[in-house]
Amino acid sequence: MPAPALHLGAVVTCSHAGPATPTAPFPRVTVSGQPIVTTAPPWAVTGCALTGSAPPCVTGQWVTGAVRVLAGGVPVASMAGASTCVPTGTPLLPVTAQPRVVVT
């Protein structure tokens, strides 16, 4: 399914509205003037609002990304890709990304 590629400036949150930031964007490829993100590095989650007996989200990882577009031999992360947060197992939620580059 075609979807916008994620980049350093994309707005991504955990399922509990905690902002997520890629720990290692891929600097050799840029979109909208910012490095893209592949599925390899984890995302740091800060400010997860999960309360109660379960611990809050700390990191997130893209599990699937683009099928046909690679950067450095690794799939590019996309808004349609699957992800998971640790330790909750809930997904990361991409809110906005650059609109010009769509990957499949």
Structural domains in the chain plus CATH codes: 3-103 (2.60.200)
In whole angstroms, what is the distance from residue 4 CA to residue 81 CA? 10
Distance separating alpha carbons of residues 10 and 61, to the nearest angstrom: 15
pTM for the complete prediction?
A: 0.93
Q: What is the pLDDT of residues 34-63, one digit of tens each?
A: 999 999 999 999 999 998 888 999 999 999
Give per-residue pLDDT as tens, 67-89.
Answer: 999 999 999 999 999 999 999 99
- Taking only the tens place, the pLDDT of each residue in 5-15 is 999 999 999 99
